[in-house]
């Protein structure tokens, strides 16, 4: 809990009034309390108009368990920023699908806020304050790299690849037709990334996607005694014939120095033979709520 309390201290020093949820101190195996307690607390904050931002303590596990009981009507009626990444991807996508609520895939209290990288923090507060950068570049000025040429305008969706795949076929994944999907993952060996990309292809996602941006795929160790494919080769296998623009090198993932990325805003991805650019077309904090058709079917 040391990092958690240090993260709370950072936010308070920035001038924010912070209320700590009671389940932050509960334990049930790898979960912070029972599903009922966690979703009840989440809904209580979604219903409060005085709460303007919910920042996840960490990614953790168990977000998928909560989705059927989230109060999406409250989220629509009392819009607020939901901040987090990793497993929080499931909540971001479900809230956008069922409440039209955009969010920020960004720093979490016990993971980044205890010792925030200054450049990454600046990018986060810019987005949270209403900025819509064009282009969206990395904290060190990093630009995207071209993979497949093309230009598309669409809704920016995504986050953790495993969470996106686990939402396929459920009522919690937004329609991906024409969307710009950004993905990252952590601790997944190449054969598992291969399987997840295969599932996206088999589900027809690559037939309808508007564009794709690859972030970081980190914290896996190769076994020298086992044959494998490189991640580069795997992505090439699945994307070499893509009919949509593809870029890589997004400074986003499970590492401390990174972009924060809005989920559920319109963006433009332009990829030429030697250049790639992602630009936001609207702010995550000024969007009209409820613009999603909650009865639309996910791809």
For residue 275, being part of any structural domain is answered with yes
- Give mean pLDDT, residues 149-178: 98
pTM for this entry: 0.93
For residue 97, being part of any structural domain is answered with yes
Q: Coil, helix or strand for 267?
A: strand
Residue 270: give its domain's CATH number. 3.50.30.60
| Inter-residue long-range contacts of 138-143, CB under 8 Å, 24+ positions, other chains counted | 138/250, 138/251, 138/258, 138/259, 139/251, 139/257, 139/258, 139/259, 140/251, 140/257, 142/249, 142/251, 143/249, 143/275, 143/276, 143/277
Same domain for 155 and 274, yes or no, is: yes
How many domains does the chain contain in total?
2
> Which structural domain, as residue segments, surrounds residue 49?
2-128
Residue 35: give its domain's CATH number. 3.40.50.10740
pLDDT digits (tens, 9 = 90+) for 111-162: 999 999 999 999 999 999 999 999 999 999 999 999 999 999 999 999 999 9
For residue 240, being part of any structural domain is answered with yes
Same domain for 194 and 96, yes or no, is: no
pLDDT digits (tens, 9 = 90+) for 43-62: 999 999 999 999 999 887 89
Catalytic residue positions, numbered: 86, 184, 254
Same domain for 101 and 172, yes or no, is: no
| Domain end (from 100, 128, 156) | 128
For residue 140, being part of any structural domain is answered with no
| Domain end (from 128, 155, 182) | 128
- Give mean pLDDT, residues 78-99: 97
């Amino acid at each position: 809990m040391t990092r958690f309390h240090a993260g709370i201290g950072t936010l308070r020093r920035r001038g924010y009034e912070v209320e700590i949820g009671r389940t932050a101190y509960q334990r049930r195996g790898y979960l912070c309390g029972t599903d009922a307690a966690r979703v009840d607390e989440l809904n209580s904050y979604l219903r409060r108009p005085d709460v303007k931002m919910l920042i996840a303590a960490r990614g953790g596990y168990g977000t998928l368990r909560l989705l059927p009981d989230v109060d999406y009507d409250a989220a629509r009626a009392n819009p607020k920023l939901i901040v987090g990444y990793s497993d929080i991807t499931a909540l971001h996508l479900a809230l956008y699908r069922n409440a039209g609520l955009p969010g920020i895939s960004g720093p979490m209290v016990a993971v980044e806020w205890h010792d925030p990288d200054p450049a990454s923090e600046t990018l986060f507060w810019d987005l949270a304050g209403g900025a819509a950068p064009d282009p969206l570049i990395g904290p060190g000025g990093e630009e995207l790299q071209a993979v497949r040429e093309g230009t598309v305008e669409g809704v920016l969706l995504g986050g953790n690849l495993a969470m996106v795949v686990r939402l396929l076929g459920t009522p919690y994944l937004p329609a991906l037709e024409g969307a710009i999907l950004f993905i990252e993952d952590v601790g997944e060996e190449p054969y598992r990334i291969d399987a997840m990309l295969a599932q996206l292809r088999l589900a027809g996602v690559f037939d309808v996607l508007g564009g794709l941006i690859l972030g970081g795929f980190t914290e896996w160790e190769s076994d020298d005694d086992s044959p494998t494919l490189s991640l580069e080769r795997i992505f090439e296998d699945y994307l070499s014939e893509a009919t949509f623009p593809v870029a890589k090198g997004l400074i986003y993932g499970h590492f401390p120095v990174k972009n924060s990325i809005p989920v559920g805003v319109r963006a433009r991805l332009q990829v030429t033979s030697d250049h790639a650019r992602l630009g936001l077309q609207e702010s995550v904090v000024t969007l009209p709520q409820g613009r999603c058709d909650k009865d639309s079917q996910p791809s």
